[in-house]
Structure 1
Amino acid sequence: MDADLIKLVNKLQDTFANLGGELDMPQLAVVGSQSAGKSSVLETIVGRDFLPRGQGIVTRRPLVLQLIHTPVPESTLGSSEPTYTEWGQFLHIDKRFTDFNEIRREIEQETFRVAGQNKGISKLPIHLRIYSPDVLDLTLVDLPGLTKIPVGDQPSDIERQIRSLVVDYISKPNCVILAVSAANVDLANSESLKLARSVDPQGRRTIGVLTKLDLMDAGTNALDILTGRVYPLKLGFIGVVCRSQQDINASKSMSDALDSETEFFRNHPAYRNIAHKNGTKYLAKSLNQVLMNHIRDKLPDMKARLNTLMGQAQQELNSFGDAAIYGDTNQQGALVLRLMTQFARDFVASIEGTSVDISTKELSGGARIYYIFNDVFGTALASIDSTHNLDNQDIRTAIRNSTGPRPSLFVPEIAFDLLVKPQIKLLEAPSLRCVELVYEELVKICHNCTSAELQRFPRLHAQLVEPSSVQSVNGAASPEEDEETSEDVNGVNGVNGLPPRDSRSVSSTVHDRARTTIGAAGEMVTVPKRHTSPKPLHGTIRPHSQPVAAPGSSPHSGTAKETFLNYFFGQNGPGPLAGASADRAGGHPGGAPASVGRDINGGDPALHSGLMAGKRDLEGNNAAFDMKSLGKHIEAATDGGPQLTMREEMETNLIRSLIASYFNIVRQTIQDLVPKSIMHFLVNNTSQQVQNRLVASLYKPELFSDLLNEDETLVAERTRVKALLDAYKEAFRTLSEVTLKST
């Protein structure tokens, strides 16, 4: 039964090594400084040379060594045919090694594969089983040798790496520490005993092994240490004498080495009385007994630990879900519907701030939308200067253009209308950007609404996010509804309080709403139109839109400019300036000069003085009107001149003040209407329609199999956890049987 205990532990150890279990198995860990003789002790116990040797760090990965006693079959006794009664087998490769030199090479290659070539350390163990009739059932873990100073290409923190690795093993309560120390070094300097005491201060689970007893100075011995008078340990000290490097170079056999060791203790004057409690054979028997007793003592703890691990594994397996749903369409449909409902609830809860997983580190969900409205959008609107891109010349030109050929007693409202609309247009860009930011935030919320169960199905999650994204929530509407909705730009309720239902996306609709709202704010500028004008007298200068045709031509012949110039300068027909100067100065049957004089005197003084100057010039030179001279006057008037008159400065400041005041009013309106429109048409609409959209687009039996296609990594992990749970259950059952037999 005792042998079965070690075999059971070995089996569990292999199983949990493959599956990643966390059961702390009873084991013996070999700890010692470099060149303390660890490898020689292990090889002597096995009776074979199989461990790598060399300078510096040779053991760079833990070696879990399981020794399994295999009796020699009776059929092979006395047989002349060669038979293999000893072999090794690694856990990472399915091969039986009968050549122990090949085992050594495999250990080296496996070490290089994981730990690399630069003398680095790896915590991933190598598992080796050795079957032999010359060994006792035993499990040992050979750990890297303790070192102080990096040598050669060793890492600079090699001491910390090795110490951390060794402590990870020996700090476990179920680990028995085999502390190897050289007898020819002061025991107070033993690194292995120092490290063992740090995790086992009372020495209850530490066995001391003294090597190199034959190399002590003449006249000295380790009798006090071996008898426990110097450094007391509950499990005591055992002395061994292994092969020296000279013996190894001389190919001294293991049997000869064991005989030499026995002879050394039997004939040594200090050790002859305790020879039966020292030596490699006694060490192997003692370790076998210690391990079995340790396993027996730890059985209740192992069962309790297994019980806890089974509960954890079962809970983890449940989190992966049941794979049996793939054969039942009804179960698949119920699962899809449940995940849809949970996704929609999480989406709405994140917006409303009622989620159970509210972050305390950063803004999320609806709080970020509120931040966009009040901080980002509000700051962007406040940073816009209403008249920064308007200079005085632009305003003066607009005023002049809006008065036409007549002076105005008051500042023309048409100039204000002309100038304010482009300024109101400046509010469009931040409004549209506000829509984009809120839309991006809603998409982010969709991606964050991922429960642990939904993570099982990446395709379903992708499909849930796609219909939920705002661009897909659309429908159809009649042209009358669209027209009514577009006209109601100052409200936020749309048609009868419903969201827009045209064929465009909701996000595009909100963009249009923002543009239309801003446009409507510009249209609020109401300017009274001039529906009447003074009746033109005969011979007066008419506007461009009312040309006077030359005699003999149709009323619509030629362009407006040509007709006006022909009439004004008297070319190809009579006009106010046509004929001789004397005719223009005196009476005329047509009465044209008198009419012109009266109209000019009652009209614009600037135009009056300009025409009179032209008239005097013509009279003084008695020549045709100089077109270049008139062109210079027109160009000078168009340029506006470098300075403003007092009246122009007053009118410019007044227009600028009106634009700033009206812009501030519109800005406040936009800051109020745009967030309301976004909340109604974008946020609230999405929250209300998300589940209906999901059901309508995804709840289809033909899609269930594809939507519920699990992630391959998750499937592999569930398989591993299922196998681990089965191993826990089997181990618990076996330990229960062993406990019953032992009682």
Structure 2
Amino acid sequence: MDDLIPLVNKLQDVFNSIGNDQIDLPQIVVVGSQSSGKSSVLENLVARDFLPRGSGIVTRRPLILQLVNVPEGEEEYGEFLHHPGKKFTDFSEIRKGIEEDTARIAGGNKGISRDPINLKVYSPHVVNLTLVDLPGLTKIPVGDQPTDIERQTKDLILHYISKPNSVILAVSPANVDIVNSESLKLAKEVDPEGRRTIGILTKLDLMDAGTNALDILTGRVYHLKLGFIGVVNRSQQDIITSKPITVSLNQERVFFQGHSAYKHISSRCGTTYLAKQLNHILLSHIRERLPDIKAKLNSLIGQTRQELQSFGEPPMEGIEHRGSLVLRLLTRYSADFNSAVDGTSPTITTRELCGGARIYYIFNSIFGAALDSIDPCADLSSQDIRTAIRNSTGPRPSLFVPEMAFDLLVKPQISRLEPPSVRCVELAYEELMKICNGVASRELQKYPKLYARVIEVVSTLLRERLDPTAAYVQSLISIQQAYINTNHPDFIHEVQSGPPSSSISSSTSRVNHGRSDGADARRRKRLGGSRGRQDHEGEGTTSAASASRHTKSADPAAGIGSTVSGAKEGGGESNFMDYFFGSGKSERFSTQSTIPPQATYAGSGIPGSGKDAPAGFLTPPTLAQTHLGGSESAAHVSGAGPLRFGDPMATAMMTEREEMETQLIRSLIGTYFGIVRKNIQDMVPKVVMHLLVDHVKEGLQTRLVASLYRESVFEELLQEDESITAERQRCQSMMEVYNRAFQIISEAV
């Protein structure tokens, strides 16, 4: 039992030597407000005057005081941990040393610090104890004290007394009502049942005449399991006159034995009884907590060993060892990179998508949504479509919607697929860069230069593959624009439900043939021959019937064969494709497509031009006469007003035929764009995987070895991070401390 306190002191020395307080060692923590007499209590226990004194807050750093009992006749001295091996036999020098070290750490502005001062006192007049003296509780900052001095002091005290292995020595002056004791109030916060709190009542000799603290000392006012002990300290006058503490202790004993209220409990009062009681309490507390301390040490040893292993061993000397290490690190990095892409890494997170799963998400969600959001006819107005149709026919009227107009309109729309496709490549590249920076093992990160070079090599490889991949994706768009395949099976299926596009071409030739037959019939009619009229009717009917047999209407489901209102003949509505191909409608087109002779340039001298108009003006036909579907007579043209040169399509209303043509073109564009979009959505991920992802995976290790496996750079690359070296040394020191502490406990128990 007597060896337990020295055992704890040894443990405390071991841990204090490295500034570690992870082990909660049993100790007595002294708490009290300023001027409560706690410093005098400590000096009485040591029987020496060694603590700083003065006005305001004097104790500004925790003082860990170890009292070591030595045999009678041996030298009495003190020793600071920060001055190892130096003995202070003059206790006034100890006081000076405490003041100097306090000012060095806490400064000279009366502020406090958590950094403790460790003092060990060897004396035959002390019992084995470990005490912690803390700054006194204060309410109002004085002088140049910090404005939050109360909070700082309270936080520091709570830091010590909150530890389960601490015994709280709550010092309260007897001449102040116990209910106002700040020390007991703080102790109750962390020890509400009073199991590890011992109360000290000071200044019993200063109580008013006729009063006493007997009820408090006997536990009838405030219950503590360890009870209350009353002491009488030296007065301020005694301190000023340097009255010996031994004399004061004799006066204290006389006071209790002669006081009418305390004489029957005098054996349980005074500093001598306090020292013995504290020694007994601390021994019991150490014996009770020692198994937990041993278990805690075992746990710390295991944790520190694992941490030390995580830093690995320093690189061995010799080219062969260094080369083997570099090759192993490069191989592991390549394997970790590929595992992260393939989704086979053992460190896969469950918080977010990463690696290959993120690339899949880019392909199917981000890229797919971007393509789906593109409007096939965005920024393509009906006026643009009509103008394209007119421009593609040149000076000739057109019977059918020209294919050149479709090509002209659909190519710019296809180009809208390029930005999201290129962005898909960039997003995949960025994700690979994240993988590049995130898969390095902790062992590789120990060598910052090697780690930086690995990242540089992989980043360079990724950048080398970025541009070719993006260029290939751009070429996919150019390929789609280069050849507009209207003979694509999916496109034909959408546009018509009959034979492929050759049927449409065949139908077109037959309808054109019907148109020329109709023109011959009109010439014969002008000659007045009734036979010519009959021939015209017969041939036109035969031609139209032939076109009808070889041409099918558009598929209604495709959205382009819908019935267009207003396209009537004889009061009946007609399907758009029938309007072009079926039921002899071509005869109607051919007979109404003549250009009025009145539409001549003014002042040209051409017969039939009418009155001369100013130069630069055109006397145009009406809109209906310039269109194939018009039916206005030439007489209306002669009365039409002049129209300035410019875009005659800008203000003209669309005819019924133009509306149908525009609708058809828009539907065809949407259908063809959908086919191209589907192809691009399928091809771009394949290109990215082949040219970027797989290429990097397959060539990564080869590139790393070729770039970094060189004997001339081994020494430079394998320079360990200084922080890693320091952490390894710290862990090694901690392992030595824990092992030594465990050995001390094992030998004592």
* TM-score of the two chains, using structure 2 as the length reference: 0.71
Matched, 1:444 2:428: no
8 Å CA contact retained: 1:87, 1:131: yes
Provide the C-alpha distance between the structure 1 equivalents of 2:401 and 2:84, rounded to a whole number of angstroms: 97
Aligned residue in 2 for 1:337: 327
1:685 CA drift (Å): 2.8
Provide the C-alpha distance between the structure 1 equivalents of 2:610 and 2:738, rounded to a whole number of angstroms: 123
Matched, 1:505 2:464: yes
Aligned residue in 2 for 1:219: 210
Aligned residue in 1 for 2:575: none
Provide the C-alpha distance between the structure 1 equivalents of 2:594 and 2:110, rounded to a whole number of angstroms: 100
Aligned residue in 1 for 2:652: 643
8 Å CA contact retained: 2:98, 2:117: no
Corresponding letter in the other structure for 2:233? C
8 Å CA contact retained: 1:413, 1:527: no
RMSD over aligned CA atoms reads 4.3
Matched, 1:730 2:740: yes
1:287 CA drift (Å): 3.1
Find the residue that maps to 1:177 and give its secondary structure.
strand
Spell out the pairing of 1:586-665 with structure 2 (5 A cutoff): 615-616=604-605, 628=616, 636=645, 638-646=647-655, 647-665=657-675
8 Å CA contact retained: 2:59, 2:135: yes
CA change 1:285–1:645 in 2 (3 A) is closer
1:435 CA drift (Å): 0.9
CA change 1:357–1:102 in 2 (3 A) is same
8 Å CA contact retained: 2:601, 2:618: no
Provide the C-alpha distance between the structure 2 equivalents of 1:527 and 1:302, rounded to a whole number of angstroms: 85
Provide the C-alpha distance between the structure 1 equivalents of 2:371 and 2:431, rounded to a whole number of angstroms: 20
Aligned residue in 2 for 1:327: 317
1:437 CA drift (Å): 1.0
Provide the C-alpha distance between the structure 2 equivalents of 1:237 and 1:526, rounded to a whole number of angstroms: 102
8 Å CA contact retained: 1:204, 1:234: yes
CA change 1:60–1:377 in 2 (3 A) is farther
CA change 1:143–1:456 in 2 (3 A) is same
Matched, 1:271 2:255: no
Mean Cα displacement is larger for which, 223-232 or 362-371? 223-232
Aligned residue in 2 for 1:454: 444
8 Å CA contact retained: 1:506, 1:682: yes
Provide the C-alpha distance between the structure 2 equivalents of 1:201 and 1:397, rounded to a whole number of angstroms: 91
Aligned residue in 2 for 1:582: none
8 Å CA contact retained: 1:43, 1:51: no
Matched, 1:357 2:347: yes
1:331 CA drift (Å): 3.6
Spell out the pairing of 1:385-404 with structure 2 (5 A cutoff): 385-404=375-394
Find the residue that maps to 1:616 and give its secondary structure.
coil
Unaligned runs of 5+ in 2: 488-590, 621-641
1:69 CA drift (Å): 6.0
1:49 CA drift (Å): 4.9
1:45 CA drift (Å): 3.0
Report Cα offsets for 1:457-487 as digits up to 9, x if no partner: 3333333333333x415xxxxxxxxxxxxxx
Provide the C-alpha distance between the structure 2 equivalents of 1:441 and 1:695, rounded to a whole number of angstroms: 23
CA change 1:327–1:614 in 2 (3 A) is same
Aligned residue in 1 for 2:412: 422
Provide the C-alpha distance between the structure 2 equivalents of 1:441 and 1:298, rounded to a whole number of angstroms: 54
Find the residue that maps to 2:672 and give its secondary structure.
helix
Aligned residue in 1 for 2:482: 523
1:611 CA drift (Å): 5.3
Provide the C-alpha distance between the structure 2 equivalents of 1:634 and 1:334, rounded to a whole number of angstroms: 88
Corresponding letter in the other structure for 1:653? Q
Match of 1:312 among 283, 303, 316: 303
8 Å CA contact retained: 1:176, 1:205: yes
8 Å CA contact retained: 1:326, 1:705: no
Provide the C-alpha distance between the structure 1 equivalents of 2:21 and 2:718, rounded to a whole number of angstroms: 29
Aligned residue in 1 for 2:165: 174
Matched, 1:514 2:473: yes
8 Å CA contact retained: 1:27, 1:291: yes
1:726 CA drift (Å): 0.8
Match of 1:679 among 689, 696, 703: 689
Mean Cα displacement is larger for which, 453-462 or 657-666? 453-462
Find the residue that maps to 1:463 and give its secondary structure.
helix
Match of 2:424 among 434, 440, 460: 434
8 Å CA contact retained: 2:603, 2:615: no
1:146 CA drift (Å): 5.3
Provide the C-alpha distance between the structure 2 equivalents of 1:240 and 1:70, rounded to a whole number of angstroms: 25
8 Å CA contact retained: 2:602, 2:611: no
CA change 1:205–1:630 in 2 (3 A) is closer
Corresponding letter in the other structure for 1:271? Y
Corresponding letter in the other structure for 1:99? E
Provide the C-alpha distance between the structure 2 equivalents of 1:707 and 1:669, rounded to a whole number of angstroms: 48
Provide the C-alpha distance between the structure 2 equivalents of 1:406 and 1:678, rounded to a whole number of angstroms: 47
8 Å CA contact retained: 1:28, 1:175: yes
Corresponding letter in the other structure for 2:479? A
Provide the C-alpha distance between the structure 2 equivalents of 1:93 and 1:653, rounded to a whole number of angstroms: 98
Report Cα offsets for 1:232-265 as digits up to 9, x if no partner: 6665543211234565567666455445434423
8 Å CA contact retained: 2:31, 2:170: yes
Find the residue that maps to 1:652 and give its secondary structure.
helix
CA change 1:465–1:107 in 2 (3 A) is same
Provide the C-alpha distance between the structure 1 equivalents of 2:309 and 2:105, rounded to a whole number of angstroms: 37
Match of 2:99 among 92, 102, 105: 105
Spell out the pairing of 1:275-286 with structure 2 (5 A cutoff): 275-286=266-277
* TM-score of the two chains, using structure 1 as the length reference: 0.71
Matched, 1:139 2:139: no
Provide the C-alpha distance between the structure 1 equivalents of 2:269 and 2:319, rounded to a whole number of angstroms: 72
Find the residue that maps to 1:405 and give its secondary structure.
coil
Unaligned runs of 5+ in 1: 77-84, 474-503, 529-601
8 Å CA contact retained: 1:60, 1:111: no
Report Cα offsets for 1:430-466 as digits up to 9, x if no partner: 1111111111111112222143433323333333333
Provide the C-alpha distance between the structure 1 equivalents of 2:317 and 2:650, rounded to a whole number of angstroms: 88
1:515 CA drift (Å): 0.4
Mean Cα displacement is larger for which, 371-380 or 332-341? 332-341
Find the residue that maps to 1:377 and give its secondary structure.
helix
Spell out the pairing of 1:89-100 with structure 2 (5 A cutoff): 89=80, 91=82, 99-100=93-94
Find the residue that maps to 2:605 and give its secondary structure.
helix
Provide the C-alpha distance between the structure 2 equivalents of 1:526 and 1:371, rounded to a whole number of angstroms: 31
Spell out the pairing of 1:22-171 with structure 2 (5 A cutoff): 22-46=22-46, 47-51=48-52, 53-55=54-56, 59=59, 61-68=61-68, 89=80, 91=82, 99-100=93-94, 102-106=96-100, 108-109=102-103, 112-113=106-107, 123-130=114-121, 135-145=126-136, 158=150, 165-171=156-162
Provide the C-alpha distance between the structure 1 equivalents of 2:600 and 2:24, rounded to a whole number of angstroms: 113
Provide the C-alpha distance between the structure 2 equivalents of 1:411 and 1:467, rounded to a whole number of angstroms: 57
8 Å CA contact retained: 2:168, 2:187: yes
Provide the C-alpha distance between the structure 2 equivalents of 1:406 and 1:171, rounded to a whole number of angstroms: 100
Matched residue pairs, number? Answer: 619
Provide the C-alpha distance between the structure 2 equivalents of 1:655 and 1:280, rounded to a whole number of angstroms: 108
Aligned residue in 2 for 1:574: none
Find the residue that maps to 1:48 and give its secondary structure.
coil
Aligned residue in 2 for 1:472: 461
1:716 CA drift (Å): 1.0
Aligned residue in 1 for 2:561: none
Provide the C-alpha distance between the structure 1 equivalents of 2:296 and 2:418, rounded to a whole number of angstroms: 67
Provide the C-alpha distance between the structure 1 equivalents of 2:19 and 2:671, rounded to a whole number of angstroms: 75
Provide the C-alpha distance between the structure 2 equivalents of 1:253 and 1:605, rounded to a whole number of angstroms: 138
Corresponding letter in the other structure for 1:280? T
Identity of aligned residues (%): 52
Corresponding letter in the other structure for 1:665? I
